[in-house]
Amino acid sequence: MVVRHDHEGIPEMSARPNIVLIHGAWAEGSCWSGVIERLQAGERQFAARMGAATVEIASSHVAMVSHPGDVAQLIKTAAEAVPATS
């Protein structure tokens, strides 16, 4: 696999959309209180760097379970962005 880099030496992302589902796995929420804002900022920066479409859902746990319609819509939007191949 050939990895191309931009003018700053950063690997370029492919033309295909990337889908990243990130969820928290914790015993209880307080164990994340010291780092959650930094983790979220890192996730936002990573998504912006790869040109990802994102949706932030106010969810206390796994958004795929508590907000399946929102997650499904994000996946559908990403799938529709991929050009059809013959």
pLDDT digits (tens, 9 = 90+) for 53-84: 788 888 866 888 889 999 899 889 888 888 87
Average pLDDT over residues 18-34: 63
Q: What gap in Å lies between CA 54 and CA 56, rounded to an integer? A: 7
Q: What is the largest CA-CA distance in the chain?
A: 50
Amino acid 57: pLDDT: 84
Whole-model pTM?
Answer: 0.49
Q: Which residue has the higher pLDDT, 37 or 27?
A: 37
Residue 69 pLDDT: 93
The confidence score (pLDDT) of residue 64 equals 86
For residue 11, the cross-strand partners are: 5
Query: What residue type is 38 in one-letter code?
Result: R
Tokens in use for 51?
């040109």
What token pair was written down for 12?
């370029």
